[in-house]
Structures are given as C-alpha cells and as structure tokens.
Amino acid sequence: MKHTRKILISLISSIFVAGAVYAADGRANPDAGAKAMEAKHGSYVEPKINHGQYGAMKIVVPITTDDKAVQGMKLHNMANSFEAAAQWGGQIQGTIVLYAKGVSLLTDPDPETRQMIDALKAKDVQFAVCDNTLRGQGIDFHHLYHVVERDIVPSGFAEVAYLQSKKNYVVDPVN
C-alpha cells in the first residue's frame, strides 16, 4: 500500500510539473517547471528577529544516544548557534554533556565528527563526560577522543541540572 501511494504521489507531482512547463497556448515554457517546483518546495526567506540582540548565552546540549545521526545533528546545532549569535549580536558559551550511550561520540569518531569536535573545542565549547557512565560501561577515559581528566564530571545527568541552575539553557532537540 505504501509503495503504491508513493508511486501515485510521484506520478501526480510529475503531471503537475509537466503541465506547468506548457503555457496555455501549448508552447513549451521551461522556466514554468522550475517555478512550479520552487513553489512546491518553498523558497528561502531571510530571517528577521523582532526582539533585542541575542547577547551572552550559555547553552548546554546533553547527548545520551549512540545514534550517530542525532549526535551529528546536535554538534551541528551547537556550531550553527555560534554563527547565528555572531550575526545577531550575541556570544555563546557552550557545554556538551555526554552520558549513557552518548559517550560513544568520543570512542573512535570518524574524521568528519573529529573535525566538528575540534572546531567546537576551538570555540571553547566544553565537553563534559559522565564518570558514572565510564565506570558502568568499563570505559577508560584515556581511550576517548581528546578527553582529559578535567572533562570528567561525577554524573552527566546531575551536571546538566547543575548547569541549568547556574542559568545555562539546556537545549535538547532530540534524544
């Protein structure tokens, strides 16, 4: 049923675009197809904010999953926040707290992930690693990517709560 529905949707979309390519008089109009596709998929809108500048923000992003896509999305979100803050008059102080399965982010990351981690560290983003997780999973922090003793916190969960109590904003889009 799903397969049939996908085929129907694809067919209807193709007919819509093909119909837009021909003007009412039957002559080909190649620009019309592109405009129809743009209208279908939307177009870019320049962002506008209706409040004061961002100012100084302290952001905490907990990572508790071993899902590489979610981990990557959270790293990208943190990186993107620096760009947005700079554009809108702000500064970011960031902390990424890794606990539970999230510690897997630092176990032999691929080159792209290493590059993202390094870029965030270059912007002084702190990576806090849960000691409870390390002990529970039998992980030696020396085997984690660029983790030093000062990065270890007693509890990742408690660290998130502590940082929130110190006026850090916890941003957790998906976990």
Structural domains present in the chain: 2-41 (no CATH), 55-170 (3.40.1260.10)
Cα 48 to Cα 159: distance, rounded to the nearest angstrom: 34
Interval 103-138: pLDDT, tens: 999 999 999 999 999 999 999 999 999 999 999 999
Q: Give the burial string for 63-97 (b: 16+ CB within 10 Å, else e).
A: bbbeeeebbbebbeebbebbeebeeeebebebbbb
What pLDDT does residue 13 have? 41
**Residue 31 has what pLDDT?**
52
Cα angle value 79/83/86 (rounded, 5°)? 135
Q: Which residue, among 90, 65, 75, has the nearest Cα to 127 in the 3D structure?
A: 75
Whole-angstrom distance, CA of residue 157 vs CA of residue 130? 8
Tell me the mean pLDDT in the region 47-65.
91
Q: Average of pLDDT values for 145-149?
A: 98
Model pTM score = 0.73
pLDDT for 40 equals 53
Whether 39 has a pLDDT exceeding 80, the answer reads no
Q: Tell me the C-alpha distance between 140 and 92, whole Å.
A: 30
Q: What percent of the chain has pLDDT over 70?
A: 75
| Rounded average pLDDT over 58-77 | 97
Residue pLDDT, tens place only, 4-16? 444 334 433 443 3
